[in-house]
């Protein structure tokens, strides 16, 4: 069970001593944070973090040798990034690397705690979602998942999913009775691993469909209203095996 107050570990990376000291002072007076590391460069952090992993990384963007955006792509997904920078033009880049938040210098304590609270909400939701999987009894069915979308975690009921479309760096989750798909910065492979295999099937390198939602198959395509989902040769037999189980 998740406690009412979650404590997260954090590290701070900033090549400016004053900024590093300010963020450290903010973190030390925040009861929900435990400071595990202070680093004056991404190179220094790159050497230390593998042996000292943290939940949150407060990461400056503009740094010599290796900047924060470059370094964020090396950080494991289990560590969430909160960017800190004096330059607002990096906000879009922060979204592209799936940062949890973006703090613009000079950073106030109110903004800092707002980002921390957002991180706590994210980790609490993630723990609840993950709690449905490890050690779960075989007869207890996964009912929903959480996906990251636009700096938020959104709960999605599995029963509502029609199909999932993979793009280059994103996926689109198409739901029943929802005209606009949910966009999430993750891979189709990662989503496939999360979904129960007895309910979802990969039919194309770019598409996963929910088996029980398949109503019409025509000319090698699955039809969902105005959407036509192609079935590639490499996945055709798996789909045929499923359909054969239900043919009268």
Residue written as token pair 């290796």 = 66
Question: Which token pair is 32?
Answer: 């929900």
Contact 98, 87 (CB under 8 A): no
Predicted pLDDT of residue 136 = 40
Least Cα distance to 105 among 13, 19, 14 occurs for 19
- Phi then psi for residue 64, to 5 deg, are -70, 160
Q: For 113-133, what is each residue's pLDDT tens digit?
A: 999 998 988 888 877 766 543
Least Cα distance to 19 among 110, 115, 83 occurs for 83
Each residue's pLDDT tens digit in the chain (248 positions)?
334 467 899 999 999 999 999 999 999 999 999 999 999 999 999 889 888 889 999 999 888 888 888 888 888 878 899 998 887 655 445 445 567 888 888 999 999 999 999 898 888 887 776 654 333 433 345 788 888 887 788 889 999 999 999 998 899 999 998 889 999 988 888 888 888 888 999 999 999 999 999 999 998 899 998 899 999 998 989 888 888 887 76
Least Cα distance to 210 among 157, 147, 162, 145 occurs for 162
pTM: 0.53
Task: Kindly report the three-state secondary structure assignment for every residue of 98-134.
Answer: CCCEEEECCCCHHHHHHHHHHHHHHHHHHHHHHCCCC
């Amino acid at each position: 069970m998740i406690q009412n107050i979650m404590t997260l570990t954090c590290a701070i990376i900033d090549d400016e001593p004053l900024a590093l000291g300010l963020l450290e002072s903010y973190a030390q007076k925040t009861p929900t944070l435990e400071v595990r590391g202070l680093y004056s460069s991404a190179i220094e952090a790159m050497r230390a973090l593998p042996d000292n992993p943290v939940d949150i990384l407060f990461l400056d963007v503009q740094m010599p040798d290796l900047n924060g955006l470059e370094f964020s792509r090396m950080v494991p997904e289990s560590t969430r990034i909160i960017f800190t920078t004096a330059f607002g033009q990096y906000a879009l880049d922060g979204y592209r690397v799936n940062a949890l938040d973006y703090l613009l210098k000079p950073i106030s304590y109110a903004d800092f705690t707002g980002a921390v609270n957002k991180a706590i909400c994210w980790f609490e939701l993630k723990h609840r979602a993950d709690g449905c999987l490890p050690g779960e009894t075989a007869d207890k069915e996964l009912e929903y998942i959480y996906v990251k979308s636009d700096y938020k975690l959104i709960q999605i009921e599995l029963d509502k999913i029609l199909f999932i479309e993979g793009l280059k760096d994103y996926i689109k989750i198409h739901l029943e009775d929802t005209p606009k798909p949910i966009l999430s910065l993750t891979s189709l492979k990662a989503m496939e691993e999360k979904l129960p295999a007895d309910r979802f099937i990969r039919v194309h390198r770019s598409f996963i469909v929910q088996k029980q939602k398949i109503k019409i198959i025509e000319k090698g395509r699955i039809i969902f209203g105005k959407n036509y989902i192609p079935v590639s040769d490499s996945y055709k037999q798996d789909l045929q095996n499923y359909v054969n189980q239900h043919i009268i």
